[in-house]
Amino acid sequence: MIGAFAWLTTGRLAAAALQAVTFGALAVLVGPAELGVVGSAVAVLTVLQAVFDLGLSAYVVRTRAEAPDDGRVRAAVVLNRLTTAPLLAAALVAAWLVTAALGDGLGAAVLPLAVWAAAERNAETVAGVAIADGRASLATANLVVRRAVAAAGFAALCAAGTDPVLAYGVAMAAGSLMSVAWLNAANRTRLPEGGRAPLGHVLREARPFWVNTVAVQARTLDVPVVAATGGAVVGGLYSLASRATVPLRLVPTSLALALLPHATRAVGVAARRRVLTHLAWLVAGVAVAYLALAAWVPALVDAVPVLDEYRPAVVPVQILLLALPFGAVASVCTALLQGYGDAAFVSRAAVAMSAVCLVGAGVGAVLAGAEGAAVAFGGALVLQAALLATRLVRHHRAEDERPTRAGAPVREEVRP
């Protein structure tokens, strides 16, 4: 587990750093209002990715780890392909509607982001096969190269005089198209040769994962919600704060991805306690790093004069950084509970906390601008972490109290 986490975290941090640099360069080249429109479009498209994901990205990892030759894995990959074209069509419409609603004259410049959304979602789902097989290095290399192509493409297009927003969308799309071609080719010979399971059966099994994925990603709508309630400039400041912390949000995401196969296979008190021991140290390290970064943010802005226009985003960034350790706890608990077969509870908790996040972000933006929205987002993470941790404690208490037969634990569900 530690090896997979190291690969995924290192790669995701490198990839997210490249993405943050690309988005930061875009922020320098355009004003806060335009950046708010782009950030809102990306947020809406991210939610669409989750909707069309159908829960398959997490389902593939868990099912492949549990039964590598199961026909459900092939069926999930087929469903992933079938939903890519509809996602592209929906993303094109959504991107156009966002620019029409928020204005700023961007028009067709954001439409290439629809191609990015469809291709990246396909790639992320297929990458689950490699992660479950223990080939985290393949998934990591693919992600880093994807972001590197996007960063290099953005720089080249801007140097050639292309509009920055259009250059950003085209570069992101190019990186994702390369990525999806690579991953599908790498996994083509590793899928089960036998018949696939019925698609309807896979959809039913993946439903709890889907609800959780949509609910979690719905929180990215906080950016357009803040832009709509607080204005384009407040939306731009909050968008920068939100996007700047994305690399750090990927650390607990990587931990959860690496953990899910191990949680699925862990049976018995001793095995689960070993997993928890590793996790406690990893989460503690993540929390210390985030707190140090929160203290360092003002000095970073002072050292980079081009960021002076975004100085009002410093406090929102610090608030989000202070909340991210709770996001790490929530991600870890989510993976453990899904691995223990409690995905339904996880999905219900995610739906409730996403509603709290979005309503709070809108109210917070009206009352206190970007800072108020950041407090609402952080509060939702704290509540979700507490809710999932309490559920996890109930699971482990039930495991401790479970009767045994010939030394083997008797399985017993924790009821809602």
**pLDDT, greater one: 152 or 398:** 152
Q: Which of 36, 35, 42, 46 is nearest to 218 (CA)?
A: 46
Q: Is the pTM of this model over 0.75?
A: no
Least confident among 130-144, 236-250, 275-289: 275-289
Q: Is the model's pLDDT at 411 over the cut of 50?
A: no
Q: Which of 7, 142, 125 is nearest to 63 (CA)?
A: 125
- Please tell me the total number of residues recorded for the chain in this structure: 416
Q: Which residue has the tokens 């970073």?
A: 300
Q: How large is the average pLDDT for residues 299-322? A: 79
> What are the tens digits of pLDDT across the range 165-220?
899 999 999 999 999 999 888 877 777 666 678 888 889 988 888 888 888 788 87
Rounded Cα distance between 254 and 355, Å, is 24
408 forms beta bridges with 405
The pLDDT value given to residue 282: 65
The pLDDT value given to residue 414: 38
> What are the tens digits of pLDDT across the range 120-158?
999 988 888 877 777 777 888 888 899 999 999 999 999
Task: Tokens for 350, please give them.
Answer: 């995610």
Q: How large is the average pLDDT for residues 37-41? A: 84
Q: How large is the average pLDDT for residues 287-315? A: 77
Q: How large is the average pLDDT for residues 309-325? A: 84
Distances, alpha carbon 355 to alpha carbons 162, 242, 343, 352, 380, in Å:
39, 18, 19, 5, 9
Q: Is the model's pLDDT at 385 over the cut of 70?
A: yes
The pLDDT value given to residue 221: 83
Question: Pairing mode, if any, of strands 408-409 and 404-405?
Answer: antiparallel
Specify the DSSP element, H or E, that contains 268: none
Task: Tokens for 222, please give them.
Answer: 């906080």
Mean pLDDT value across the chain: 80
Q: How large is the average pLDDT for residues 300-311? A: 71
412 neighbors 354 (Cβ within 8 angstroms)? no
Q: Which of 176, 178, 213, 188 is nearest to 73 (CA)?
A: 188
The domain segmentation of the chain, as residue ranges, is 1-204, 220-400
Distances, alpha carbon 371 to alpha carbons 43, 44, 231, 363, in Å:
19, 22, 14, 11
Q: Is the model's pLDDT at 264 over the cut of 60?
A: no
Q: How large is the average pLDDT for residues 100-108? A: 69
**pLDDT, greater one: 298 or 410:** 298
